[in-house]
Amino acid sequence: MMAALGTAGLFVLTAVAEIVGCYLPYLWLRERAPIWVLLPAAASLALFVWLLSLHPTAAGRVYAAYGGVYVATALAWLWLVDGVRPQWPDLLGSALAISGMAIIMLAPRG
């Protein structure tokens, strides 16, 4: 169980690194943030790639399961950073994505 929680935490950290790495260039392109925001964006994307390499299973399975966690993390970002409260279809979709991630990651392998 602790391994599953550690993997889930690593997925969330990975998702945050990716979101920050994409959000900062968005601020530069759309919101007129200063160009220097691209430096932490690049560092965050490098961190994202490194964190993906730490996951303890085959890359394809990691990417598939990570997608579910990314959906939930992006909706949390929507609420906490963008100030837009997710609606019930957002939450339902996120729950389905997390369920899919759990099936992918926790299924017994023979």
Please list, in sequence order, all residues whose beta carbon lies within 8 angstroms of the beta carbon of residue 18, skipping any fewer than 6 positions away: 44, 45, 48, 70
Does residue 83 surpass a pLDDT of 80?
yes
Number of independent structural domains in the chain: 1
**Structural domain that includes position 90:** 2-106
Residue owning tokens 């609420």? 79
Q: What is the pLDDT of residues 35-60, one digit of tens each?
A: 999 999 999 999 999 998 887 776 77
Is residue 48 a contact partner of residue 14, using CB atoms and an 8 Å limit? yes
pTM exceeds cut of 0.85: no
